[in-house]
Chains A and B, each alone.
Chain A
């Protein structure tokens, strides 16, 4: 028989305002096993915890019930208190009489009655509790970062600087992400390349960092501290370790008309290419869909001009398997497609462009060498219209746009408008906006400068339609302040397209068993208190893959994710969660039901020999749970048709005892 102590918390007036705590303590006094029952203003305070420790000693308690807030809040606190008093931490149960009781009831009598019932259930459970000890597992002291944008770069550098090895897997031929495509960056207008490329070089030169460029993650198994990851290195037909990045092959390649994805198709590249001058790694890549040699076996020019002998037309995709202790997702974002916004004529006119295309048009390394020329006829545009919120805040058209605010477009549109007026004072620049959202340090001041110092015209209202007419774009929109419909004949229109997570994020999340929201952004373990951890242990989040973010925010989050990874890798061993499932081999019939429902892949089967009463040997298939992988969700226990599967700390008999106590 247990000797149970009950501690009822007032939580100031949070609980005591709706629940008669004294009556609860009194009612629970007479429950089986209870030898001590009391109440106190703040159980979680030092004084409250001391009270528990003293009561354990004085009354020789073997189990504790705390009637208080949600176990998510203070279960850990009271488990530590129990350990301090010499009890096994798993001999503590929490009855949640705040969130599930005082906060949802208004009536004292009803609230008190429910609190007593919840308390009784917890007492019934503690009567069946047994001490539990968490298992230990070793930690592989190396991290994997998936995605090599500014988020992945910063996370990798921070982890590596702390002395741990890091691998970056980047699906494109170079790291750098979207930031490498930007021209200048708000709010300080420093040039993106000037602040990004030194970091890319740091990555390339860091002895603790390896970059798998042009590579993707194809399989993930294992668990926190012990992941095993298969990486697919896609064939680039150039030997990475030999290529010097001299570009002789690119100069001589005869296939010249391949749309250049780095410039968003606004100019062409060769069949063999290096995305941009500061690429890391600076290695050529052959596009197999364009190369004459790979398509038809004719040409071979690049291999002839390459003095290093780096070209290898027979290269195949290669799979490498590596072990990691932690995984960071940094897969970033993409602007959404504008094809479906017919009213904005994006598909009809080359002079309707997206903001990312505008970045390339103003970038010195872009298709126009940084001169702002409109794509159709390479003329200098005199009238430019920017449209904000295209596809963002769009609740009605899920197939076209996104319901959320993309967060970065107000600021980059102000940047674009301002820089245009600065460099080309003769241009007439108009921005259509619904709201200008600038909640950031120096952000509103930045946007105000666009209008006050640079004379950008801001019109509150949305553009309804854009019609190409001759060499102009007829823009029709509303000016809500003037209560007018406005008509502008523009030379160039720039659409601030909504952003969405990279398309590869969802299959990756499935591999990692990491959760996502309905928009395919990775979900954090807690929106306020654990913003860089995914709910899956050992998987962390960095950058825009978790939600729209600008560079300052991305970099802070990247550093925070690194700190969490370092904290994990600094440990030699990890304590597991002892509340895991296990199957009773005498009852298990090997039906596979449990393995089919386990979301974490923790269950495998093995053939085991059983000695029968008649001394014969029978071989049966039985389920085995890997306690390091099991997260204790309990899906298997409710699925098991033979009642063999049980969850430690939440056994079937414990739960039935709670139900009985509630229904009595």
Chain B
């Protein structure tokens, strides 16, 4: 799959339109995982618009995202970067045909302080 098709496929899976982005950075201003990321939410959007998807496919950033949806909730233009990031993860899962983590492994990471939403997120992020 060439770069352009890859970007188009990710946009299709995400169901959002990155072209609506006005480059305000509110997503990156909202993101709680910002410092753990190599590529930040607004860069994600911009890289996908430009078809520069390869670095994202190999970046750990997609797993640093907590799937908290703060960026999606606050983006003034309705771009919802979280959905694009999720689309990259999904694409990788589908490509490899296997999950990054099996459902059984999730419990090992759980403790009493783990918010329920994080557990749910873990399933949607790592196992589809």
> Would you call B15 an interface residue if the criterion is a C-beta within 8 Å of the partner chain's C-beta atoms?
no
Q: Which of B23, B27, B43, B77 contacts A464 (CB 8 A)?
A: B27
Q: How far is the CA of A557 from the CA of B29 in the complex (A)?
A: 39
Closest A-chain residue to B75, C-beta based?
A396
Interface residue ranges of A388-407 to B (CB < 8 Å): 389, 393-397, 401
Q: Is B26 an interface residue (CB 8 A)?
A: yes
In the bound complex, residues from chain A placing their C-beta under 8 Å from that of B77 are: 393-396
State whether A465 touches B28 (Cβ < 8 A): no
Contact of B23 with A434 in the complex, beta carbons under 8 Å = yes
- The answer to whether A461 has its CB under 8 Å from any CB of chain B is yes
CA–CA, A156 and B24, complex, Å: 42
Of B22, B23, B29, the contact of A465 (CB 8 Å cutoff):
B29
What is the interface residue range for chain B against chain A?
20 to 34
In the bound complex, residues from chain B placing their C-beta under 8 Å from that of A389 are: 24, 76
Residues of B within 8 A of A464 (CB): 26-31, 70, 74
Which of A389, A393, A461, A478 counts the most chain B CB atoms within 10 A?
Answer: A478
The interface residues of chain B lying within 8 Å CB-to-CB of A480 are: 23, 25, 28, 42
Asked whether any CB of chain B lies closer than 8 Å to the CB of A477, the reply is yes
Cβ proximity bits A457-472 to B, threshold 8 Å, 1 near / 0 not: 0001111110000000
CB neighbours of A462 from chain B (8 A): 24-26, 29, 76
How many Å from the CB of B76 to the closest CB on chain A?
A: 4
A24 to nearest B CB, angstroms? 43
Chain B residues in 8 Å Cβ range of A461: 24-26, 28-29
Chain B residue at minimum C-beta to C-beta distance from A433: B24
What's the least CB distance linking B37 to chain A, in Å? 10
B33 closest partner in A (C-beta): A485
With the chains together, A483 CA to B38 CA distance in Å? Answer: 10
| Contact bitstring A478-500, B, C-beta under 8 A = 1, else 0 | 11100101000000000000000
Contact (Cβ within 8 A) A485 B76: no
- A463-B76 in contact (CB<8A): no
A476 CB–B CB distance under 8 Å: yes
Q: How far is the CA of A461 from the CA of B31 in the complex (A)?
A: 13
B35 & A478 in contact (Cβ 8 Å cutoff): no
Chain B residues with CB under 8 Å of A339's CB are none
- By a CB distance below 8 angstroms, the chain A residues around B70 are 464-465
Least distance between B44 CB and chain A CB atoms (Å):
13
- Bound-state CA distance A637–B24 (Å) is 52
In the complex, B20 has a CB within 8 A of chain A: yes
| In the complex, chain A residues whose CB is within 8 Å of the CB of B76 | 389, 393-397, 401, 462
Q: A434 CA to B20 CA in the complex, in Å?
A: 15
Contact B22 A434 (CB under 8 A): yes
Chain A residues positioned under 8 Å from B35 (CB to CB)? 485
CB-defined interface of B61-87 with A at 8 Å, one 1/0 digit per residue?
000000000100011111100000000
Check A343 for interface membership: any CB of B closer than 8 A. Answer: yes
Residue of A nearest to B29 (CB): A464
**A302 smallest CB distance to B (angstroms):** 49
Chain B minimum-CB-distance residue to A463: B29
For the complex, give the distance between the alpha carbons of A393 and B25 in Å.
13
How far, in whole Å, are A372 and B22 apart by their CA atoms in the complex?
A: 34
Q: Which of B22, B26, B42, B78 has the most CB of A within 10 A?
A: B26
8 inter-chain pairs at a CB distance below 8 angstroms, sorted by A residue, are: A434-B22, A461-B24, A462-B24, A462-B76, A464-B29, A478-B34, A480-B42, A485-B40
Spell out A's residues near B (CB within 8 Å). 343, 389, 393-397, 401, 434, 460-465, 476-480, 483, 485
Contacts A396-B78, A480-B23 known; list 11 others, CB within 8 Å: A397-B78, A401-B76, A434-B24, A461-B26, A464-B26, A465-B29, A477-B29, A478-B26, A483-B43, A485-B29, A485-B40
